[in-house]
Structure 1
Amino acid sequence: MSTVTTVGSFFPSVRCCAPPSTSPLSNGRLKLNHVSNTARRLAVSTEQAISTETTTERNETTMRNHVSNGRLKESEEGEGMKEKQKNPYALELEKTEMELRSSRKSLEDYFEESKNFIAKSDGGGGGPPRWFSPLECGSRLDNSPLLLFLPGIDGIGLGLSKQHNTLGKIFDIWCLHIPVKDRTSFLGLVKLIERTVRSESYCFPNRPIYLAGESLGACLALAVAARNPDVDLVLVLANPATSFEKSQLQPLIPLLEVLPFQHQLTIPYMLSLMTGDSLRMAMDNAVKGFPLEQTIGGLSQDLVAMSSYLNALANILPRETLLWKLQMLKTASAYANSRLHAVKSQTLVLSSGRDQLLPSEEEGQRLYVALPKCEIRKFNDSGHFLFLEHDVDLANIIKGASCYRRGKYLDYISDYIPPTPLEFKKLYDSNRLFVLATSPVMLSYFQDGKIVRGLAGVPSEGPVLYVGYHMLMGFEVIPLISNFLLERNILIRGITHPMLYVKLKKEGMMPPLQQFDVVRTMGAVPVSGSNFYKLMSSKAHALLYPGGMREAYHRKGEEYKLFWPEKSEFVRMASRFGAKIVPFGVVGEDDFGEVVFDYDDQMKIPFLRDYIKGLSEEVVSLRTEADGEVGQQDLHQVGIVPKFPGRFYYYFGKPIETEGRKQELRDREKAHELYLHVKSEVENCIAFLKEKRESDPYRNILARLAYQASHGFDAEVPTFDI
């Protein structure tokens, strides 16, 4: 088996906390939890454990599974649509684009919600700390893990307000609210969270509990994890205040103690940190396609609104409260740092590159080294209040980092959540220029024996295994997966190289793997027999490149040459579940780039040879199930000279049936015979495309641009006669 190497009045808006439903999967469908409209108690006090007596009763109803037979389920608007019509996923994507262009949520919502929360939930800021769950998070998957949000210095608990809709679909979210006038100590807050954690862990011992904290909340999460090493916790820490001793706010403590008027200067300063660089955000929106009038209008509204935010922020952090919180930050930082050695939980640190409040980028790297099970994600253009920024999608970040699980261990198949239309739109937009430059042509073998343009010929129902040639650097994967999703509503799950999932050695040579988050978000799984088995048994559409890295990082002059291993396990696994095997070929890499500095050239240079060997040893040791030439391939990069962009061509050949051949293909010789047949069909697909592209009048990018200039850049560019 081989690998792929590449690369959405106040009280009705909150509910009291309740444990998630425990109903198991039924008939392949996931349960959907609903919340009654009756307003209940907002939360529990610091002296109470969460109990069913203080919870909101939920009525459960079933919903369609995210993925069935390898296809994304249709939305209500799209049910019953014919194949020839635009699929529901594409329609939902268009709807998402319209919504993004017509509205842009700002900080005004956050401050307004905070103001109402303080006024109506605790009578102006009194009462003990307690939990609440926003009704925006009302419907979620069954068996969803619990996520406890631990707020920063503001203490309101609405720091995830821009994330509620997306997070609420995959988590049971409880938010900690610390009233303005509350003076519970740091250790008191730790014990409150600890009681909740232990209670929920006792009720649901097989589910992880997520602690998502920002600044102060991150210190609370670390403290709870250090005190409870026996509880299955996943920490998500945004700009942790463990570096408070280096903060620009620390010198304010003595000033606030002796100079009351200093508070009048502190609030505008903190507001500037929260709102960030308004001009930069406006430019970002312009680049992303927001209309100019809307962008300028939004900027003007933000600048005017800033003056009204001052009063709101002053209500959240009056002088006495601000002084108390700053002193608490100092205590929290010291407490968490003294117990870092005891933290064994899985941890994801999120570091902002433009945090003006804390040295978060430097601190993130320190925690990455100090914590044994830590991953880090960097956001170079973000400020301190990461969760309130427009482009930050915490649910997508957690999924992309392979941190989302519903059991003790991550299951790449059952724990996978397909991308929402909004998530897919962001991924697609980031590669739009590449797709435009290569203008991919997709061909498929139709049932009546004809070759048609498009993907109408590929099987609709899984399991299906797509087996093909891996183009240079794996560039072909991006248009392939996108077109399947947009045209056929089929999510293809790649079987990928283990290096995309390896837990890096802190002192190792491997570069950060954040660049591969998009691959994991789109459903890729690390190569293994168990993962392959689960994909086929779940009737998935899977993508396999037997040549793996050896093809994607081939030598000079080896374009379109297949390097497949001797063993043919994928044939017998496919036949076990009656999967259809679809051979396919891709050409166009020689029109896009040329290899000028390959593996053989690099191995002749001593320092490069040593680097490649050291790098490969870090990864190969984890690839216990890889074999043959693919398994022995050293990890390296190739030097490429870009060419004037040509065009990509894909041909998905006649599906090969394995239904009813399970017993026959248990014979190694029969299986190997079919394996060679699949390889021959892939070579035939490549040969067909190489011949036909010669007659494509739009193979050159200039011809394609001229056509699109007159017909629109979204128009499908013609190709050769089929």
Structure 2
Amino acid sequence: MVAVGASFFSTIFSPVFHGERRYQALKLKYGGILSNSIAPRFAMPVNRISEKQKERRSGWKEYLKQSKKLIKADGGAPRWFSPLECSSQGDNSPLMLFLPGIDGVGLGLISHHQNLGRIFDLWCLHIPVADRTPFTDLVKLVQKTVRSEYQRSPNRPIYLVGESLGGCLALAVAAHNCDIDLVLILANPATSFNRSQVQHLTPLLDALPGTFSSVLPNILSLTEGDPLRMVLDNAVKGIPLLTAARESIEDFTTFSSYLPVLADILPKETLLWKLKMLKSASAYADSRLYAIKAQTLILCSGNDQLLPSQQEGERLLQLLPKCELRKFDDSGHFLLLEGSIDLVTVIKGTFYYRRGKYHDYASDFIPPTPNEAKNVFESYRLLNIITSSVMLSTLDDGKIVKGPAGIPSEGPVLLVGNHMLLGLDVLPLFSHFFRKWDFLVRGMAHPLMFRRQKSGRLPEISSFDSLRLIGAVPVAASNLFKLLSSKSHVLLFPGGAREVFHRKGEEYKLFWPEQSEFIRMAAKFGAKIIPFGAVGEDDLGQVVIDYDDLVKIPYFRSEIESLTNEAVQLRTSVDGELANQQLYLPGILPKIPGRFYFYFGKPIETEGRKQELMDKKKSPELYFEVKSEVERCIAYLKEKRESDPYRNILSRLLYQATNGPTSDIPTFEI
């Protein structure tokens, strides 16, 4: 069972940066049917820029550049198009329909096209600048496409990604189509329009001269010198829509050069029409929230200059039955155009990606990219430096070696070991397996990382997105079955929360159930079982206040009961210490950091022993053999670490100062 305690310290989720994507061409779709007319191909030059520059670049610049080309051939009715970058998806990829904000261009996902195109069949709705289709007719248009695609592929979900106005459109369609499997992803949905400052923009635009939209860009493009630039920059800040765009494009010159494009996308008459539509769309969607049953993910910004998005996200979270919320405190209204957000990473981390009616933890899992893994482990870089883990494994002939040589590269493999205090062993394990050893390990985790009985004081579920991104799944027999059947490497801690939140003097004591829970499952698939031991927690800190101390104080006893009741309970049918699954934060006295040690014993074969180990008398024998081997590994490490000259962090820092910060620090003689 993967750690449940580490998140009490820090926020786990770490947004992944996404570079610039080239928009090459469009193939138009009308009502879900491919049109014979193909839009012009855009051959865009590729500038050589550093990875750091790519990370920092906003999607705004590319959006404006390609919007300029797309709206040139504007006209006609609203229609669907698919970016050519999205042509590499698999045969079983679900359909994703992008519903734009008030701009209507349909390029709001331009920074994400290439990544989304690998796992989705992506269609984007384009609403021409001069189009005056009412909101209710847009609902019918999207609904027609949804029902047509549902009839064509009734077993695959349909994703509706709605941005601002598009969020209202997605909610309205979902309210009218409760019989269809829809997944809604809403970025700053405009259902809060009647509480926003944008609603006051309509009378202001009515009062402005008709040439305003052409005059302002020309004035700004002529600006030279800091004083005038500051004056005009402050003038722009007085207009909410331009303020939000301005904040996304830090360079004033770049911003001012693209203002004519903004004026072409949203001339005064179109902007007035869209603002009036926004008002009606907000009321329409808000009045139908009660009917929505679709799985919904809300992405809301903390620095939205147009809408009170975080407050609205909290409100919708309470009103929608299958809803989750993710907050981006530093982001503005145009969330999906910001370089700090990767939509695919968000979808993967929240387990919102599925190809069928339900999410399958084995077949729907998409391994993290090197960049995603880097961002996850980088957030725990300090822990890895402090613990400087030593990893040992055992070859078939019993020889102990440093590194993963003793761990089979082909699955199914079941890694079974002890949990250290607060689950601090998990991230170093994942980091070594994925980054250094090139193994993808799926960790069996406590259900509190995925769902709650009720809301309360536990860390938000979003805190665990990064662990889900790198492979954590809820601990359950059905999930172990799926992972072993898919020949995965699975990480299991039978002691679970009882070992994570152990008491004083219980370091390295195993709290395993008497039943051989995993042996027969491993035998069914011929999985290799690798027992391992982990030590080092007592070199980081000492538990001085534990559950037995806290439960004597009425206030803390009440807090512990409240925390424990928030989480889904495990092993409710057992008695004794194994049933003692209380969640609490112990009092820990820090020490000068030592080092973590992991020792993987010799693999135990179950191949060809299925009939033998399915016997209820035989399987406990192997179970206790595994448990004894884990205890032997722990004892070995506790003894050998005494001779490690680099057990103390000071000696390790001195070694790296002499040999370089990336040098591999030695350990005891094996």
TM-score (norm 1): 0.82
Give 1:509 deviation, angstroms.
5.2
User: How many residue pairs get matched?
Assistant: 624
Q: Contact conserved, 2:544 with 2:589, CA < 8 A, in 1?
A: yes
- Of 587, 591, 602, the match for 1:654: 602
Secondary structure of the corresponding residue to residue 140 of structure 1: coil
Q: Deviations over 1:548-593 (max 9, x none)?
A: 0000110112111111111112011111111111011111111112
1:320 corresponding residue in structure 2: 269
CA distance in 2 between partners of 1:12 and 1:637 (Å): 50
> Who is 1:281 aligned against?
none
What letter corresponds to residue 695 of structure 1 in structure 2? S
Q: Distance in 2 between matches of 1:483 and 1:451?
A: 18
Query: Given the alignment, which residue of 245, 254, 258 partners 1:305?
Result: 254
Deviation at 1:613, TM superposition (A): 2.3
Q: Which runs of 5+ in 1 are unaligned?
A: 17-41, 57-96, 279-298
The residue that corresponds to 2:92 in the other structure is: 143
Report the more deviating stretch, 635-644 or 401-410: 635-644
Q: Distance in 1 between matches of 2:339 and 2:346?
A: 14
The 1:482–1:182 alpha-carbon spacing in structure 2 relative to 1, beyond 3 Å, is same
Q: Which structure 2 residues correspond to residues 79-228 of structure 1 after superposition, within 5 A?
A: 99-100=51-52, 104-106=56-58, 107-119=60-72, 121-122=73-74, 126-228=75-177
* Secondary structure, counterpart of 2:199 in structure 1: coil
2:33 corresponds to 1:51: yes
Query: Are 1:147 and 1:172, in contact at CA under 8 Å, matched by a contact in 2?
Result: yes
Partner SS, residue 156 of structure 2? coil
Q: Kindly state the Cα deviation for residue 511 of structure 1 after the two structures are TM-superposed.
A: 4.0
Q: Distance in 2 between matches of 1:55 and 1:531?
A: 47
Paired residue secondary structure (1:610): helix
Supply the AA of the counterpart residue of 1:117: L
User: Is the counterpart of residue 550 in structure 1 residue 495 in structure 2?
Assistant: no
SS at match of 1:169: helix
Q: Secondary structure of the equivalent of 2:521?
A: helix
Letter of the 2:591 partner, please give it: K
Quick check: 2:451–2:567 contact (8 Å CA) kept in 1? yes
Kindly state the Cα deviation for residue 104 of structure 1 after the two structures are TM-superposed.
Answer: 4.7
Alpha-carbon deviations, 1:220-274, whole Å to 9, x = none? 0011111111111111011111111121221111121232377546796523312
User: C-alpha offsets along residues 485-543 of structure 1, whole Å, 9 cap, x if unaligned?
Assistant: 223321000111111121553x5554421011111111111122111111111111001
Preserved CA contact (<8 Å) 2:248 2:338 = no
Q: Which of 586, 589, 593 does residue 541 from structure 2 map onto?
A: 593
With over 3 angstroms needed to count, the CA separation of the structure-2 counterparts of 1:622 and 1:189, relative to structure 1, is farther
Counterpart for residue 564 of structure 1: 512
Deviation at 1:55, TM superposition (A): 9.8
What is the distance in 2 between the residues matched to 1:352 and 1:117? Answer: 28
- Cα pair 1:153 1:215 within 8 Å, conserved: yes
Matched, 1:362 2:333: no
Q: Deviations over 1:634-674 (max 9, x none)?
A: 23332333332221111111111111111111222321111
Q: CA shift at 1:154, angstroms? A: 1.2
The aligned amino acid for 2:33 is S
In structure 1, the partner of 2:299 is 350
Shift of 1:303: 3.2
Is 2:97–2:160's contact at 8 Å kept on the other side of the alignment? yes
Aligned position for 1:246:
195
Residues 179 and 435 (structure 1), Cα distance of their counterparts in 2 relative to 1, 3 Å cut: same
Counterpart selection for 2:444 from 492, 495, 499: 495
Distance 2:372 2:22 in 1: 30
Q: 1: distance between equivalents of 2:510 and 2:380?
A: 27
SS in 1 for 2:325: strand
Query: What does residue 274 of structure 1 align with?
Result: 245
Distance in 1 (alpha carbons) for counterparts of 2:358 and 2:37:
29
| Secondary structure, aligned partner of 1:132 | strand
What is the alpha-carbon root mean square deviation over aligned residues?
2.4
- 1:468 and 2:454 matched: no
Query: What secondary structure does 2:326 align onto?
Result: strand
Once the two structures are TM-superposed, the CA of residue 327 in structure 1 deviates from its matched residue by 1.0
Residue 594 of structure 1, CA deviation? 2.2
* AA of the residue aligned to 2:552: K
Q: Distance in 1 between matches of 2:542 and 2:266?
A: 60
Is 1:699 paired with 2:647? yes
Task: Please say if 1:14 is aligned against 2:25.
Answer: yes
| Helix, strand or coil at the partner of 2:409 | coil
Work out the CA distance in 2 between the residues paired with 1:661 and 1:163: 48
Q: Secondary structure at the match of 1:569?
A: coil
- Cα gap change, 1:197/1:105 in structure 2, threshold over 3 Å: closer, same or farther? same
Q: Secondary structure at the match of 1:551?
A: helix
Task: Name the SS of the counterpart of 1:152 in structure 2.
Answer: coil
**Alignment match, 1:720:** 668
- DSSP-derived class of the 2:618 partner: helix
**Does residue 1:434 correspond to 2:383, yes or no?**
yes
- Residue in 2 that maps onto 1:616: 564
Deviations along 1:606-659, one digit per CA (max 9) or x if unpaired, are: 233223323333434587788874455123332333332221111111111111
Q: Distance in 1 between matches of 2:453 and 2:327?
A: 16
Report the 3-state secondary structure (helix = DSSP H, G, I; strand = E; otherwise coil) of the residue aligned with 2:439.
coil
Aligned-residue identity in percent: 60
Listed as ranges, the matches of 1:342-491 within 5 Å are 342-491=291-440
Q: Does the CA-based 8 Å contact 1:260-1:319 persist in structure 2?
A: no
Whole-angstrom CA distance in 2 between matches of 1:308 and 1:276: 15
Counterpart Cα distance in 2 of 1:11 and 1:502: 38
Letter in 2 for 1:640: I
Partner of residue 462, structure 2: 514
Residue identity in the other structure for 2:307:
L
Query: How far has the Cα of 1:53 moved from its partner?
Result: 6.8
Instruction: Call closer, same or farther: CA 1:204–1:482 in 2, change over 3 Å.
Output: same
- Say whether the 8 Å CA contact 1:6–1:477 is kept in structure 2: no
Alpha-carbon displacement from aligned partner over 1:12-45 (angstroms, at most 9, x marks no partner): 82343xxxxxxxxxxxxxxxxxxxxxxxxx231x
Instruction: Work out whether residues 156 and 177 of structure 1, in 8 Å CA contact, stay in contact via their aligned partners in 2.
Output: yes
In structure 2, do the counterparts of structure 1 residues 525 and 630 end up closer, same or farther at CA, with 3 Å as the change threshold? farther
Superposition TM-score, scaled by structure 2 size: 0.89
**1:64 — aligned with what?**
none
Q: Please say if residues 188 and 301 of structure 2, whose CA atoms lie closer than 8 Å, have aligned partners that are also in contact.
A: yes
Letter in 1 for 2:523: S
CA shift in 2, pair 1:54/1:373, >3 Å:
farther
CA distance in 2, matches of 1:53, 1:185: 24
Letter in 1 for 2:25: V
Identify if the C-alpha distance between structure 1 residues 393 and 641 changes in structure 2 by more than 3 Å, giving closer, same or farther: farther
Distance in 2, Cα, partners of 1:510 & 1:588: 26
**Partner AA of 2:628 in structure 1:** S
